[in-house]
Amino acid sequence: MKQKTVKANVQNPSRRSFLTRSLAPMAGVAALAPFVKTFGKAARPELLTDPTNLPPTPFNFTPFTVPLFKPPVIQPTALTPAPGSAQASLGSAAVYHGIAPEFSKSHPAHGADWNDAALKTYKVDILPTTQQILPGVETPCAGYNAIWPGPTFLSNFNEPCVVRVTNHGDTETSLHLHGGHTPAHADGHPNFYVHPGKTRDYYYPNIVPREHPGGPFDMSEAPSTMWYHDHGNDFTAINAASCHAGFHLFTDDLEKQLIASNVLPPTYGDTDVPLAFSDRRLNADGTQFWDPLEHDGYLGDLICVNGNAFPVMKVQRRKYRFRFLGAALARVFHFKMSNNMPFLMIGNDAWLLPQAVGATSFTLTPAKRADVIIDFRNAPKEVFLQNAYTQTNGRGPDKIDLANAKPVMKFIVEGAPVANDIKVAVGTRLRPHVPILPSEIQTTRVFTFERGNGVWQVNKELWDPRRADAQPQLNGAERWILQNKSGGWWHPIHIHLEAHQIQKINGSRPSAFNAAKVDTSILEGNTTVELFMKFRTFTGPIVFHCHNLNHEDMRMMKQFDPRPPGSPSPLTGQSFSVPPEICGIPAEELADPHNHLFL
Amino acid sequence: MHLNLRTFISGMGPLFLAGAVRAAEAPARPAAKGSYPRANDVNPYLKHRNNGLVSDRFPDAVVTGHDDRSYRFYTDLIAGKMVFINFMYVRCRGICAGNTEAMCRIHDALKPRMGKDVFMVSLSVDPAEDTPEALRFYMETREAKGRAGWTFAVGTPADTEVIRRVFGAYDPDRKADEVVTNHSGMLTFGNDRNNRWAALPTVSNLGQVLHSFDNITRAPRSRYI
Ligand SMILES: [Cu+2]
């Protein structure tokens, strides 16, 4: 491994002082200004990513010196006024955007078996802060509780939570729990904002869909690796670039049993580590290079893992569980280890696989998660995680070049092999998968994603927040065919609400890794994905969209509204008619005498 | 160190300099009719901005308006304003009619502000053909005539190409990009004072466009970029 080290005129790679910062009073936070450092003439370590026509980050730095940051676990906190109380209702001073109506026990979707008594409440503030993407360079951003990635949530099945989100930033925001099964009000619909200065109570029942209406919970649907991120339209990309992302890990009895029997490591213990991959590009003053006129896809030249460029992690000679997250706006990764040692894939997106499968390399697009075991038992003392995809524009990656993969993260492997290591191996049974059967399918829908005259269209239509593009029967099952006819462009298509099951990719059965549950299907250039999906528990509107965030902000998006038979969606395409309590926007704000503004 | 584009452009070399000087005269024909002039893939305007304005990158090329007057693209049409910018050409048999119609509806909705704090610029991507007279003909047939604060304009082929690239109104697939009928149907809008810009398909739901415009133009300047 040839590693270019640039003259080290930076301070000691200082670990971020996230604790002091997150505790800083607002006045102090507001006073933070870009901290400008000049590092002399820019050098370009060869690990920086492929040439684009964008200016390279003009800082010298020594890669693989900053220790990997592991976001702290968020602790529950009492909320005053209480969620769901009159003082915290829609339009109130304390919680302007209110809470999902499903929070109420009397709501028809609120199950009698939902464990209301186990409610945990949390507070998340979107705060201006700075982040050392490169050591010694303070980059202004806004983070969930002023850190990037935001604090990690650890949730258990049927232990509901309310996350009270206050937007201290200066742009509209909306929070999406990606991989979650949540009411529409809390789903991060792009128009269901948290206005600057306002607060919304996000209600996550932390339940899973039922096997059939009124039946038991379908525990095959219990997620493991969710994440939360910005979803407010017009600002999704810039908010993501401003570091709006965090992990939300979920466990149920089955996963706890896998941990108790030493198949998997303890959740979020020392050997269960989240890895959020993104890319950034800096200006000479430490701010981020950002081009609001770039609509193809943002590409940075610094690969960040959990908020720091090219970090290093010390590991023991044992198996680690890594929750890989594609947190980039547009970059597609293809990961391998520098010594070609294999990965053990145990989960795709939010869900554990039916059984673990081996892989020597794998692709991670924006929004995708890969739950991966890496066994360092026989690893060399230093080993690198590498990215083999070359990419020079936002259209998609160019080619997988395994021989010239570039390092993104270093592992220093220490000590002797650890006794009593976890037992997961190729073929280990994890979460049983319950396939949706062809006999259950009620409707087939085709969605064709195209580029026409520089704008994104789905079925030749543009996004319309007043129109439900599909009204699946609530609790029904459908076949969706996603066609990418946009030339060579890649689009990772994320469908909210619950998992979908890929049946075919370009007519062929998917690999074992892709054959169970996902929430994001990768539409490579000119690819067709056929999937089965159920639409359980919650009515809409609920969106599905491209997760290249520049495409998403250009409204490469559609929405569906699962409805019981005989109860059509109010989203007729004529006027905006989502009830205020569903969108969390008070009626006064929705008033639209000219039928122009919908929110 | 930090190069301001508007001082930068005069040093851009013969191509751009010639373009600026020629602007008020009849623009030269591109080599192949109906296609864009080939331009360097490398965008010379993407410099590190050091927290400057996005519009530091907007060329201040001289363009000719439908009223036969010369305008500096940035200084006269964008500086300090809230602006909608789209790309069109008179002979277009495709998307332009719908786009211009959509712009008329936006203009109707914002009528009290048009020409005061909100402006529109429709730049021709067919500089070889689109004389000011042709633009006037187009405006008349498309209900766009006599609307306050809306300038139809045409620049030189070279300047047009640069402006198009700066606004992201091109296709990274060169073959697709060279066909003028593929020209961008997106509507870029922003506020030069708060440094916020965004784009939507021009024919998006009107409420969507107005809401986004409001969002973007009212937000304070970002601290983060
Ligand atoms: Cu896309």
| A534 belongs to a structural domain | yes
* Closest chain A residue to the Cα of B185, Cα to Cα: A453
**Under an 8 A CB cutoff, do A292 and B197 touch?**
yes
Q: DSSP H helical segments within A214-310, as ranges? A: 236-241, 253-260
**Under an 8 A CB cutoff, do A454 and B46 touch?**
no
Q: Say if residues B47 and B183 touch (Cβ distance below 8 Å).
A: no
Contacts of A290 in chain B (CB under 8 A): 222, 224-225
- Nearest CB to A597 within list B166, B182, B207: B207
Distance A523 CA to ligand 1 centre (A): 9
* Contact partners, residue B193, CB within 8 Å, separation at least 6: B80, B82, B221
Do A397 and A483 fall within a single domain?
A: no
Q: Which of B6, B78, B75 is nearest to B45 (CA)?
A: B6
**Under an 8 A CB cutoff, do A465 and B208 touch?**
yes
Domain boundary residue, one of A355, A385, A417: A417
Q: What is the DSSP letter of B30?
A: P
**Under an 8 A CB cutoff, do A292 and B214 touch?**
no
- Nearest CB to A283 within list B48, B54, B206: B48
Instruction: Enter the tokens of residue B110.
Output: 């914002």
* Contact partners, residue A524, CB within 8 Å, separation at least 6: A396, A484, A490
User: Which residue of A127, A137, A192, A234 to mutate against B (max B Cβ within 10 Å)?
Assistant: A234
User: Helices B206-218 and B96-109 meet at what angle, rounded to 10?
Assistant: 60
Do A389 and A458 fall within a single domain?
A: no
From first to last of its 599 residues, chain A has per-residue pLDDT tens of 333 333 333 233 333 333 232 323 333 333 332 322 333 333 444 566 666 777 788 888 889 999 999 999 999 999 999 999 999 999 999 999 999 999 999 999 999 999 999 999 999 999 888 889 999 998 888 889 989 899 999 999 999 999 999 999 888 899 999 999 999 999 999 989 999 999 999 999 999 999 999 999 999 999 999 999 998 887 777 777 767 789 999 999 999 999 999 999 999 999 999 999 999 988 888 888 888 888 888 899 999 999 999 999 999 999 999 999 999 999 999 999 999 999 999 999 999 999 999 999 999 999 999 999 999 999 999 999 999 999 988 889 999 999 999 999 999 999 999 999 999 999 999 999 999 999 999 999 999 999 887 788 899 888 888 889 999 999 999 999 999 998 889 999 999 999 999 999 999 999 999 999 999 999 999 999 999 999 999 999 999 999 998 888 888 999 999 999 999 998 888 766 788 999 998 888 877 655 555 54
Do A493 and A555 fall within a single domain?
A: yes
* Contact partners, residue B108, CB within 8 Å, separation at least 6: none
Q: Could you give the percent of chain B with pLDDT greater than 70?
A: 76
Cα A467 to Cα A560, A568, B200, B206, B222: the distances in Å are: 9, 12, 17, 13, 32
Do A391 and A477 fall within a single domain?
A: no
Q: Say if residues A577 and A595 touch (Cβ distance below 8 Å).
A: no
Q: Say if residues A203 and A83 touch (Cβ distance below 8 Å).
A: yes
Q: DSSP H helical segments within A436-520, as ranges? A: none
| A115 belongs to a structural domain | no
Do A368 and A448 fall within a single domain?
A: no
C-alpha neighbours within 13 Å on the C-beta side of residue A42? 13
Q: Compute the radius of gyration of chain A from its Cα atoms.
A: 23
- Nearest CB to A285 within list B50, B94, B201: B50
What is the dihedral angle through the alpha carbons of A345, A347, A348, A349, rounded to the nearest 10 degrees? Answer: -140
Question: Count of CB atoms within 10 A of residue A215's CB?
Answer: 9
Q: Say if residues A456 and A551 touch (Cβ distance below 8 Å).
A: yes
Query: Quick one: CATH architecture of B2-20+51-218?
Result: 3-Layer(aba) Sandwich (3.40)
Looking at the 3D structure of chain A, how many domains does it have? Answer: 2
Distance A272 CA to ligand 1 centre (A): 31
**Under an 8 A CB cutoff, do A55 and B185 touch?**
no
**Kind plus residue range of the DSSP H or E element containing A347:** strand A343-348
C-alpha–C-alpha distance, residues A69 and A62, integer Å: 17
Question: CATH code at A449?
Answer: 2.60.40.420
Report pLDDT for A58: 84
**What distance in Å separates residue A354's CA from the closest CA in chain B?**
41
Distance A546 CA to ligand 1 centre (A): 5
Do A479 and A580 fall within a single domain?
A: yes
Q: Tell me the one-letter amino acid at B223.
A: R
* Closest chain B residue to the Cα of A488, Cα to Cα: B173
Do A287 and A405 fall within a single domain?
A: yes
**Under an 8 A CB cutoff, do B47 and A453 touch?**
no
Report pLDDT for A47: 62
Residue A187 three-state SS: coil
Distance B200 CA to ligand 1 centre (A): 14
In which residue are the tokens 């205020």 written?
Answer: A580
**Under an 8 A CB cutoff, do A466 and B207 touch?**
yes
Residue A45 phi/psi, 5-degree rounding, is -55, 145
Report pLDDT for A597: 52
**What distance in Å separates residue B17's CA from the closest CA in chain A?**
22
* Contact partners, residue A17, CB within 8 Å, separation at least 6: none
Give the residue numbers spanning the domain of A558.
Answer: 438-590
This model of the complex carries an ipTM of 0.79
Q: Which of A379, A415, A416, A411 is nearest to A314 (CA)?
A: A411
Report pLDDT for B94: 78
Do A476 and A336 fall within a single domain?
A: no
DSSP per position, A201-231: EEEE-----BSSTTS-B-GGG--SEEEEEE-
In which residue are the tokens 């003909």 written?
Answer: B137
| A139 belongs to a structural domain | no
* Closest chain A residue to the Cα of B40, Cα to Cα: A53
Do A413 and A444 fall within a single domain?
A: no
| A43 belongs to a structural domain | no
Which burial class, exposed, middle or buried, applies to A85 when counting CB atoms under 10 A from its CB (0-12, 13-18, 19+)? Answer: middle
What is the dihedral angle through the alpha carbons of A583, A584, A588, A594, rounded to the nearest 10 degrees? Answer: -20
Q: Say if residues A265 and A422 touch (Cβ distance below 8 Å).
A: yes
Question: Count of CB atoms within 10 A of residue A1's CB?
Answer: 11
Do A305 and A375 fall within a single domain?
A: yes
Residue A480, strand partner residues: A445, A531
**Under an 8 A CB cutoff, do A487 and B225 touch?**
no
Do A380 and A501 fall within a single domain?
A: no
Report pLDDT for A49: 62
Q: Compute the radius of gyration of chain B from its Cα atoms.
A: 16
**Under an 8 A CB cutoff, do A285 and B47 touch?**
no
Domain boundary residue, one of A369, A387, A417: A417
C-alpha–C-alpha distance, residues A127 and A96, integer Å: 18
Tens digits of per-residue pLDDT, B122-172? 999 999 989 999 999 999 998 989 999 999 999 999 888 888 888 887 777
**What distance in Å separates residue A520's CA from the closest CA in chain B?**
24
Do A405 and A445 fall within a single domain?
A: no
- Nearest CB to B173 within list A466, A488, A555: A488
CA A140 to centroid of chain Cα atoms: 22
Q: Which of A283, A349, A309, A367 is nearest to A148 (CA)?
A: A309
**What distance in Å separates residue A598's CA from the closest CA in chain B?**
6
Q: What is the DSSP letter of A594?
A: T
Contacts of B167 in chain A (CB under 8 A): 293
Q: Tell me the one-letter amino acid at A150.
A: G
Instruction: Enter the tokens of residue A259.
Output: 């941990």
**Under an 8 A CB cutoff, do B224 and A241 touch?**
yes
Contacts of B201 in chain A (CB under 8 A): 455-457, 462, 554-555
Q: Which of A597, A467, A588 is nearest to B210 (CA)?
A: A597
Residue A508 three-state SS: strand
| A514 belongs to a structural domain | yes
Residue B135 phi/psi, 5-degree rounding, is -65, -40
Q: Which of A524, A465, A469, A463 is nearest to A493 (CA)?
A: A524
| A24 belongs to a structural domain | no
Domain boundary residue, one of A417, A449, A472: A417
